[in-house]
Chain A
């Protein structure tokens, strides 16, 4: 049982993470304006390649994107249950094969991983091959765009960049904003 209906007050619970508490709770940066791009994810490419390559060609390496919905030839996603190893409070599950799935709506963040390579972090709701609607963390390299292009609204982030760095508090590598290197 993972959901229940209630009335009245409840106290939201907190979690103690494995690392030292950071005094910075909201790590933000801004730029004077956003650059918007309509991108079409190309059929046959992985979600990763279909996002990263065309945006890199126009100089975009950090962005927030909205995937407006479309059919994937195949799609994999993960969920995030507690980490039994204690390394962190949660860990991604092994990839779940959704088969030929329709991505209903998704957001993907584009940044750089700890080696400087493009990183795509995507969460989405999907109608899986069986017809059920599910949701989770999409595996961008293993999810292949179907026969029709899929539109994406891109808000390119300028004046700063998103880079993955190990977060000491959670002991998980996370995207954060940094001044451009």
Chain B
């Protein structure tokens, strides 16, 4: 029977929560890149989304085959969101965000938000909590 070797994959990371940042992202800014820019602005390398709500002009949600589902607005309301931001050795933050959106009839759709393709309509409020891995803070 074939088995999957998972021994080289780090599945746990211990650490602690650090600073808390709140931002209002303005219209026409991309949701995903806006969260990444927030991390650059506040100096967060890694973070978790603690809360977020707002509206998008249209939403683009990634599909398994590499395509996307487009939900037309305006406005498409973001009614659930979760995700994290991670920075690599170059320090550039990369946000991975997923959630549920509602169209102008209240119908709901869900999936990952594609970076660059989810422009804010009126406002997006987001709260991030900084994540400080022990491996980066022990020294």
Q: Which residues of A contact B (CB under 8 A)?
A: 1-8, 10, 12-15, 17, 22, 24-34, 64-66, 77, 79-82, 88-90, 96, 104-109, 121-125, 133-137, 155, 157, 160, 162, 167, 169-170, 172, 174-177
Asked if B118 contacts A12 (CB within 8 A), the reply is yes
**A109-B122 contact, Cβ under 8 Å, with A3-B71, A26-B26, A137-B77:** no
B72/A2 in contact, CB under 8 A: yes
Q: B24 in the interface, Cβ–Cβ < 8 Å?
A: yes
Number of A-B contacts (CB under 8 A): 221
Give the distance in Å from the alpha carbon of A175 to the alpha carbon of B26 in the complex: 11
- Chain A interface, >50% SS class: strand
Residues of chain B in range 82-139 having any CB-CB distance to chain A below 8 Å: 100-109, 116-119, 121-123, 125, 127, 129
B residues within 8 A CB of A22?
26
Q: A2-B72, A12-B119, A175-B24 are in contact. List 16 more A-B contacts (CB 8 A).
A: A5-B70, A12-B57, A12-B118, A13-B57, A14-B28, A26-B25, A28-B21, A77-B106, A80-B104, A107-B81, A125-B100, A135-B102, A136-B106, A155-B129, A170-B122, A177-B24
Q: Is the interface of B mostly helix, strand, loop or mixed?
A: strand
User: Which of A27, A174, A176 touches B122 (beta carbons < 8 Å)?
Assistant: A174
Specify which chain B residues have a CB less than 8 angstroms from the CB of A17 in the assembled complex.
Answer: 27
| Nearest chain A CB to B100 CB, angstrom units | 5
Instruction: Please report the C-alpha to C-alpha distance between residue A77 and residue B118 in the assembled complex, in whole angstroms.
Output: 23
Shortest beta-carbon distance from B21 to chain A in Å:
4
Contacts of A8 in B (CB 8 A): 67
* A109 and B125 contact, Cβ closer than 8 Å, known pairs A29-B21, A81-B104: yes
A174, B67: Cα distance in complex, Å: 34
Known: A26-B38, A89-B74, A169-B27. A66 touches B19 (CB 8 A): no
Could you name 24 residue pairs across A and B whose Cβ atoms are closer than 8 Å? A1-B72, A7-B66, A10-B70, A12-B30, A26-B23, A26-B34, A27-B26, A64-B127, A79-B77, A79-B104, A79-B106, A81-B74, A89-B121, A90-B75, A104-B80, A109-B51, A109-B127, A123-B78, A134-B102, A134-B107, A136-B106, A170-B122, A170-B123, A174-B122
Whether A177 lies near B22 (C-beta < 8 A) is yes
B104 smallest CB distance to A (angstroms) = 4
Residues of B within 8 A of A82 (CB): 74
Contacting residues of chain B (35-58) with chain A, CB-CB under 8 angstroms: 37-38, 41-42, 50-55, 57-58
Is there contact, CB below 8 Å, between A136 and B79? Answer: yes
Nearest chain A residue, comparing its CB with the CB of B103: A2
- Considering the complex of A and B, which 6 residue pairs feature the smallest CB-CB distances, nearest first? A135-B102, A64-B51, A64-B127, A34-B20, A135-B79, A28-B23
Query: Which residues of A lie under 8 Å from residue B106 when comparing CB positions?
Result: 77, 79, 96, 134-136
Q: How long is the Cα–Cα vector from A163 to B24 in the complex, in angstroms? A: 11
